[in-house]
Each structure stands twice: as C-alpha cells, then as structure tokens.
C-alpha cells in the first residue's frame, strides 16, 4: 500500500486531481499544511516543518484503512521552496533544514514518499486556472509563478538519485491526470534509503543555483 505525492506549481490542479482520485477509489488524501492546520500567532521556526512530519504520520495511519494515500504537496517542500527563493524569505538555512529532516528520518518519523507525480503545464494555463478558481485564495501567486522553472528542475533531478521516483504528468485535463497516476502507482517504495536521498539532495542544493 503506497504513499504517493502530487506536486507542481500553484493552480496546476494538484488538489482537484487528488479529490477526483479519492472520489473514484479507496484513497485517502492528506491536505497541505495550510488547509490542514491553523497557524499560531507566534509560530516557532520549526512549526511548519513539524506539521509536515505530522502529515506523514497521518498518511502512515491511513494506510491501514485505504488502498493508498496521496500527499497533496510534498512533506519535504521546505527544501525546494527555500532553495527556489535563495534561502532569503523563510529564515531557514539549508543546514537547518537538513538537520531537522535528518533527525526525524533517523527516528522513523518521516520518510520520502514512495513516488512523486509532478503535474506541469504552461504558465498561461496556470494563470487561467487560477483566475477561474473561485474556491481558494492563493497568496503570493506571482512569486510562485516566478519559480516554476527551478521548482520543476528540483523534482526532475531527484530521478538522478532514485530512478523513476518522480514522474512528470502533463496536466492537460483531469481525465488524463487521473489515468496516468492510477496506471503508475508503485507496488513498492522506490526510495529504499531516505537518509541517503536527503544527503544527495542537500549536496545538489548546495552546489546548484535556482
């Protein structure tokens, strides 16, 4: 019973795809942090990271009840987002992030998903979908638009360290998204060594510019 993750740019269709899959099968969706938890007024430096760990724990518990679980957004997202914004916005250095995730992996509190599906489409399509979606407020949307290229590049490079752990899905329409994902859900984890993958990612982020 796998845990998969859907990723991609804001407004590309991750949440809608997750919901559609859940509606047609025995699947549980773990929402992103901002939809699942209420942010405290005095948020600690590790609050967001700790909530990602909690999302993983929810996913693991739900595997007992469902055929598979989908993470709507990456539990390791802070690595990518901080890098995309040159570690200047969220006050979290790469060393800080690495040490947090490494300690949680060592005690078994979090692991990498069994597989990522990365949804992508043109910037024009993303803007159009954002404008036509009245169900959600998307803060800092223009900032997210500016990091589309490095964000996708980050996920593509994961395949260098764990072959096929990330599958790109051209998000042309919902039927296509669902078919590609359902046809390619892995039978077993593709990543056998989460600590090793974290180390590879950290080295790559250290030596690569967004």
Q: How far apart, in whole angstroms, are the C-alpha atoms of residue 61 and residue 122?
A: 36
**Residue 119: pLDDT band by 50, 70, 90 thresholds?**
very high
φ, ψ for residue 86, nearest 5 deg: 60, 30
Q: How far apart, in whole angstroms, are the C-alpha atoms of residue 62 and residue 26?
A: 11
Q: How far apart, in whole angstroms, are the C-alpha atoms of residue 141 and residue 84?
A: 14
pLDDT of 196 strictly over 70: yes
Nearest to 74 by CA among 109, 33, 26: 33
Domain CATH number, residue 132: 3.40.50.300
**122-176: pLDDT as tens digits:** 777 777 766 666 566 556 767 777 889 999 999 999 999 999 999 999 998 999 9
**92-110: pLDDT as tens digits:** 999 999 999 999 999 999 9
Q: How far apart, in whole angstroms, are the C-alpha atoms of residue 203 and residue 210?
A: 14
| Domains of the chain: total | 1
What are the b/e assignments for 12-44, b being 16+ CB within 10 Å?
bbbbbbbebbbeeeebbbbbbbeeeeeeeeeee
Percent pLDDT > 90 in the chain is 73
Q: How far apart, in whole angstroms, are the C-alpha atoms of residue 207 and residue 194?
A: 20
Q: What average pLDDT does this structure show over 32-47? A: 89
Domain containing 167 equals: 3-207
Beta strands in the chain (DSSP E): 3-8, 27-30, 68-72, 115-120, 166-170
CA 151 to chain centre: 11
**Helical residues (DSSP H) of 107-193, grouped into ranges:** 123-132, 141-146, 148-161, 174-183
């Amino acid at each position: 019973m796998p845990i998969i993750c859907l990723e991609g740019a804001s407004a590309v269709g991750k949440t809608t795809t997750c919901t559609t899959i859940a509606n047609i099968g025995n699947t549980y969706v773990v929402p992103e942090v901002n939809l699942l938890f209420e942010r405290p007024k005095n948020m600690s430096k590790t609050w967001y990271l700790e909530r990602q760990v909690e999302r993983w724990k929810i996913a693991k518990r739900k595997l007992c009840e469902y055929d598979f679980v989908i993470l709507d957004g990456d539990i390791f997202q802070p690595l990518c987002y901080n890098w995309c914004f040159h570690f200047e916005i969220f006050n979290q250095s790469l060393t800080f992030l690495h040490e947090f995730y490494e300690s949680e992996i060592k005690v078994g509190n979090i692991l990498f998903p069994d597989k990522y599906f990365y949804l992508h489409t043109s910037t024009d399509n993303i803007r159009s979908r954002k404008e036509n979606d009245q169900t959600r407020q998307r803060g800092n949307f223009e900032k997210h638009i500016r990091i589309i290229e490095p964000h996708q590049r980050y996920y593509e490079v994961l395949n260098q360290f764990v072959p096929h752990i990330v599958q790109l899905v051209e998000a042309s329409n919902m039927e296509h998204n669902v078919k590609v994902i359902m046809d390619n859900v892995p039978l077993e984890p593709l990543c056998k060594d989460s600590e090793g993958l974290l180390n590879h990612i950290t080295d790559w982020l250290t030596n690569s510019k967004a």
